[in-house]
Amino acid sequence: MILVLSKGIAPHDREMIHIYLQDRGFTIREQQLGNEAIIGAIGKGVVDLRELGLLPGVERVAATSKPYELVSRETHTEDTIVTVGPVKIGGSRISVIAGPCAVESKAQIMETAARVRESGAVMLRGGAYKPRTSPYAFQGLGMKGLEYMKAAGEAYGMPIVTEVVSPELAVQMKDLTDMFQIGARNMQNFELLKRVGSIGKPVLLKRGPSATIEEWLLSAEYLLASGTQDVVLCERGIRTFETYTRNTLDISAIPVVKSLSHLPVIVDPSHAVGIRAKVSPVALAAIAAGADGLTVEVHPHPDEALSDGPQSLYPEQFERLLRDIEALAPVVGKELLRTPRPGSSYAAPGKPAAPSQPLAGVFQVAFSGESGAYAEQALIRAFGEECPRVSVSSFRAVFDAVLDGSAGAGVVPVENSLTGSIHENYDLFLRYPDIGIVGELKLRIVHCLIAEEGTTLESIRIIRSHPQGFAQCRDFLNHYPQWQFETYTNTASAVASIVREKAVPGALARVAAIAGEAAAKEFGLKVLKSGIETNPLNYTRFVIISRSIGDMVPVPSSLGSDKPNKASLVFSVPDKPGSLFACLHILSEKGINLSKLESRPIQGQPWRYLFYVDVSIPDTEGGFEAAIAALKTKTEDFRFLGSYRASL
């Protein structure tokens, strides 16, 4: 049983709650869970829940049907996001942890850290103490190995996670590691769980090779009950009769555990299969099943590894896996997490980097529309759930907020995979020359039919949405010719309108809206039907905008700082034969791939056009800068809109 305490509870009331529960046979454990102070009442005591809920200082009482109360989603309905330094595990991000099975030398861990960081890993793994089946196998370098690993993590801006094998070592290791790992063999080492939990650091808890899901969650309960607030569950395969792989990945455990518990779930595909060639397919399957991240074994020279070489990926294989995950992430409604590297900041070619602070106030991000809008979902993918954000009335208002400094960045859509470019926002870049692009991401658009509880398809007479929502759901809407359309500036506003008109009882049983599931959740309405878009390959490309200084665009640190591989330009050309061809020839000659070319009329100059261009930035030094310099000599009104990391 869980008691959630009122904010600002008086010490006397807190003491009386303790006495009340202890007198009735309960053992008391009090701790902070997210933003809530809670008391866990454990034992076989008997109490009247209604009477308990009336005690001063008790906000609510949650009696669970599960033996794991702190872990259960019944007592904490929102997903927990575990923070480890700059890394957030859970929510809308996919976090990837990588490194060798064991730290073998300072050179080895430094090389591995550099390679996995370059590919996109955000945390470094590695064993300093290795519990091995054979007493003659390599047992790790101990504290010296942990010191090497800590140095590598600091050098490349990655928190580290390492296995702890005894309560005594937990105390010695606590200042050198950012996250403890409880290995599969120690999942039910209850004294270790209690000691590690009491230290309060984040913990990665692996499932035992023969453990049931309930036993796994009860082990997590030990950690939370002992004091830590941050536990990540790791599925790493269980022992079955199969012999072709090292273990059998219980992929069904991912959705099952996420329905039972609020804790994030990641997967260790390396131990799940034990065969290098099978790691990547299993890793992608885990992401498709809803995993919040992966922990992957990577070694610069797996054939020479002292531990688990056959299941360790080569750095090149890991890089391909990360690219595949980046492509898969939008399909499952997530984004691959990127974090800043120490001392890294990127700008337009030839320009110095500058701090990326908003001009005034606390850093917040602007988007157009109501809460629950697709733009807000894109914002959350880019900056995280906790990012302060402000909703404004229009795309232009987003640009205004970024320009005047009331927002440090903004999120605007520029292109849809089915209906093409959003020309209004391309035109706004010309009106706001101090605004540039610093990032992009692609969001899968899943439209839902949303209405009040009790509304049926037969009772609906009016449908509200943005015109794009109607266009993208045409086949579904054709089945209901009696419905009338009412257009709104964005889909979330259409949903909000239903709530705001509830003053007339029963009147809105005739009204529904087309929007995303997030909007239905935000306004407390029901999804009558999901996935009503005509084409499921429906993606919108959003760009992150920020203030620029000349050609230079500062990169908000929350977007990460991977080296840009894409740039956006806009220019006009002289009115003479071959002008556009000359520009395209420059790009071809320098080996620069052109991914988008679109013309827009120049206002006030009939039959004159601006060309919007997206190009790749090659890895070769100097080629891109030379191409930009050459383009400026062949064009008019040239503007560099920004360089950023492409979203696959």
Report the number of distinct structural domains present in the chain: 4
Residue 123 has pLDDT above 50, yes or no: yes
Kindly report the pTM of this predicted structure: 0.73
**Identity at 633, one-letter amino acid code:** T
pLDDT at 3: 83
Tell whether 254 and 302 lie within a shared domain: yes
* Residue 489 is assigned to a structural domain of this protein: yes
pLDDT at 383: 86
CA separation for the pair 332, 292 (Å, rounded): 11
Q: 124 and 99 in contact (C-beta within 8 Å)?
A: yes
Exposure on the CB side of residue 626, measured as CA atoms within 13 A: 12
pLDDT at 500: 86
Residue 328: alpha-carbon gap to chain centroid: 13
Exposure on the CB side of residue 234, measured as CA atoms within 13 A: 30
Phi-psi region of 402 (alpha: psi -120 to 50; beta: other; left: phi over 0): alpha
- Encode pLDDT of 76-98 as tens digits: 888 999 999 999 999 888 999 99
pLDDT band at 67 (very low <50, low <70, confident <90, very high): confident
Which comes out higher in pLDDT, residue 22 or 238?
Answer: 238
Q: Region 331-354: what's the mean pLDDT?
A: 60
Residue 54 has pLDDT above 90, yes or no: no
- Encode pLDDT of 269-327 as tens digits: 999 999 999 999 999 999 999 999 999 999 999 999 999 999 999 999 999 999 999 88
CA separation for the pair 295, 298 (Å, rounded): 10
Residue 356 has pLDDT above 80, yes or no: no
Tell whether 288 and 370 lie within a shared domain: no
* Residue 48 is assigned to a structural domain of this protein: yes
What does residue 309 show for φ and ψ, rounded to 5 degrees? -60, -40
pLDDT at 361: 45
pLDDT at 615: 93
- Encode pLDDT of 542-587 as tens digits: 999 998 644 444 444 444 446 788 999 999 999 889 999 999 999 9
* Residue 492 is assigned to a structural domain of this protein: yes
Phi-psi region of 414 (alpha: psi -120 to 50; beta: other; left: phi over 0): alpha
pLDDT band at 263 (very low <50, low <70, confident <90, very high): very high
pLDDT at 296: 98
pLDDT band at 232 (very low <50, low <70, confident <90, very high): very high
Tell whether 416 and 464 lie within a shared domain: no
pLDDT band at 386 (very low <50, low <70, confident <90, very high): confident
Tell whether 324 and 276 lie within a shared domain: yes
Q: Is 540 an active-site residue?
A: yes
CATH of the domain at 44: 3.30.70.1140
CA separation for the pair 396, 491 (Å, rounded): 17
Q: Region 412-417: what's the mean pLDDT?
A: 92
Tell whether 176 and 310 lie within a shared domain: yes
pLDDT band at 375 (very low <50, low <70, confident <90, very high): very high
Tell whether 6 and 35 lie within a shared domain: yes
Q: Which residue out of 383, 523, 542, 571 is catalytically annotated?
A: 542
* Calculated CA dihedral for residues 598, 603, 608, 614, nearest 10 degrees: -20
- Encode pLDDT of 606-637 as tens digits: 878 889 999 999 887 778 999 999 999 999 88
pLDDT at 355: 33
Q: Which residue out of 80, 177, 455, 540 is catalytically annotated?
A: 540
Quote the domain boundaries for residue 431: 365-444+539-644
